[in-house]
């Protein structure tokens, strides 16, 4: 079956120290996958290696059924990295920042067309920033800046949206706006991989939880995620919780 993302026996090492130790993960179209796990368990590394942003020691990655190296159209993926200062450097307005998301799609030299402007408008509306479009990014709160980055990823109309802790340190209003934008993206057929520390307002949207522990997958199953500690190999399961189910992509193979 067609998978949006597939890693096989993925190993990533920093300075000879393995951080991912053989991660095999397949994600089908339409899934909304939460990547969970303790600090340093390898969540960001898995995301970066899956997108070709960090070198792989061994194993493989396929995106949209093709080896990572063959992916020509990068605009099929929207990536929101962990905690970046949206306002660092150039003083841009919110609209300018979000419009940058269209560049990969339309090319740098071609002027913005109506379709580009519409995509930017609807991304701004989706994250609840339409009324702040003309403001300099630096005047926004941290949560609003994070929403602007999500709008930048959304306006490229990606098929896969990958986000690394998008809600960390984000105010409640921004979290709700973000959940609404994500719901809309998923309703339109999008696939999501999101690194989270806690599910929060995104919980109803999550279809699958993958928990990393020490660079390996400790849990892969239906949402909600197990409580802290459940992912540890020595954890004693003394009470029932959500059963570990076979992921949809495996059932369909
Ligand atoms: N560029 C790097 N160079 C060296 N070590 C790194 C690098 N990036 C990450 N690491 C280390 O690799 C391990 C996994 O890091 P990673 O950021 O993938 O974990 P994480 O689960 O995303 O953690 P967090 O929840 O804190 O963001 C950690 O021990 C981290 O210190």
Residue to substitute in 18, 19, 168 for testing ligand 1 pocket (most ligand atoms within 8 angstroms of CB): 19
Instruction: Give residue-wise pLDDT tens across range 6-24.
Output: 999 999 999 989 999 999 9
Taking only the tens place, the pLDDT of each residue in 108-124 is: 566 667 888 999 999 99
Place of tokens 């990958």: 162
User: What is the pLDDT, as a whole number, of residue 192?
Assistant: 96
Residues whose CB falls within 8 Å of the CB of residue 211, separated by 6 or more in sequence, listed in order: 36, 37, 217, 218, 219, 220, 225, 226, 230, 231
Q: Which of 45, 55, 228 to mutate to test the pocket of ligand 1 (most atoms within 8 A of CB)?
A: 45
Closest CA to 225 of 29, 21, 50, 33: 33
Domain count, the chain: 1
Q: Which residue has the tokens 């109309």?
A: 157
Residue 60's beta-bridge partner residues?
Answer: 8
Nearest-CA residue for atom 2 of ligand 1: 14
d(Cα 127, Cα 150) in Å, to the nearest integer? 8
CATH of the domain at 170: 3.40.50.300
Domain residues for the domain of 36 are 5-251
Radius of gyration of the chain (CA): 18
Question: Which residue did the predictor score with more confidence, 81 or 44?
Answer: 44
């Amino acid at each position: 079956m067609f998978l949006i993302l597939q890693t096989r026996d993925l190993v990533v090492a920093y300075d000879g120290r393995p951080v991912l130790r053989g991660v095999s993960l397949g994600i089908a179209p339409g899934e909304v996958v939460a990547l969970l796990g303790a600090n340093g368990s390898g969540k960001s590394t898995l995301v970066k290696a899956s997108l070709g942003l960090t070198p792989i020691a061994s194993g493989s990655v396929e995106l949209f059924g093709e080896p990572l190296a063959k992916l020509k159209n990068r605009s099929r993926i929207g990536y929101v990295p962990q905690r970046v200062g949206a306002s660092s450097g150039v003083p841009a307005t919110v609209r300018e920042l979000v419009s940058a998301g269209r560049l990969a799609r339309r090319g740098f030299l071609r002027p913005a067309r109506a379709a580009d402007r519409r995509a930017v408008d609807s991304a701004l509306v989706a994250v609840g920033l339409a009324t702040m479009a003309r403001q300099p990014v630096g005047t926004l709160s941290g949560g609003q800046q994070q929403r602007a980055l999500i709008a930048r990823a959304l306006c490229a109309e990606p098929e896969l949206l990958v986000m690394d802790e998008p809600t960390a340190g984000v105010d409640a209003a921004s979290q709700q706006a973000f959940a609404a934008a994500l719901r809309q993206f998923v309703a339109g057929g999008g696939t999501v991989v999101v690194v989270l520390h806690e599910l929060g307002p995104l919980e109803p949207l999550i279809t699958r939880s993958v928990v990393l522990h020490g660079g390996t997958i400790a849990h892969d199953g239906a949402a909600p995620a197990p409580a802290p500690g459940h992912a540890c190999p020595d954890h004693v399961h003394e009470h029932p919780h959500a059963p570990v189910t076979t992921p949809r992509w495996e059932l369909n193979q």
